[in-house]
């Protein structure tokens, strides 16, 4: 699972989310959030009855760490812009300065 929208697809599959789930970027804090509808937030057993905004970052990190562990050089060799390179450094896939 690679390319645009892959993160949301991965989370939808892992957490069995409905089609209403979406990733929202908050530029003020440079972070992404997973927005859930009421069905996922209160009835989805994979998400649980806990406050989704508090628990999703931790579950998301586990999903992404497992996915990133499978990446090879071919999966990110096309990344050349500064934002993408910084992301790869933060993910530990490239050495930092």
Per-residue pLDDT of the chain (97 residues; tens, 9 = 90+): 466 778 888 888 888 888 888 888 878 777 778 888 888 877 887 776 445 445 566 666 777 778 888 888 888 888 888 888 888 888 888 887 6
Helix (H, G, I), strand (E, B) or coil at 95: coil
Q: For the whole model, what pTM was predicted?
A: 0.46
Residue 56: CB atoms within 10 A of its CB come to 20
Asked if residue 47 belongs to a domain, the reply is yes
Which residues have a Cβ under 8 Å from the Cβ of 50 and sit 6 or more positions away? none
Task: Give dist(CA 40, CA 88) in Å, integer.
Answer: 31
**H or E stretch at 33:** strand 31-35
Asked if residue 16 belongs to a domain, the reply is yes
Asked if residue 95 belongs to a domain, the reply is no
Q: For residue 94, give the nearest of 76, 70, 67 by alpha carbon.
A: 76
Supply the DSSP symbol for 26.
Answer: E
Total domains in the fold of the chain: 1
């Amino acid at each position: 699972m690679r390319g645009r929208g892959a993160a949301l697809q991965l989370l939808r599959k892992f957490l069995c989310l409905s089609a209403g789930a979406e990733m929202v970027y908050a530029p003020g804090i440079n972070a992404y959030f997973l927005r859930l509808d009421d069905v996922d937030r209160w009835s989805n057993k994979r998400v649980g009855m806990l406050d989704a905004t508090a628990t999703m970052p931790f579950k998301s990190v586990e999903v992404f760490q497992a996915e990133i562990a499978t990446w090879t050089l071919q999966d990110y060799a096309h990344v050349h812009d500064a934002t993408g390179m910084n992301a790869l450094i933060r993910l530990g896939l490239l050495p930092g300065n």
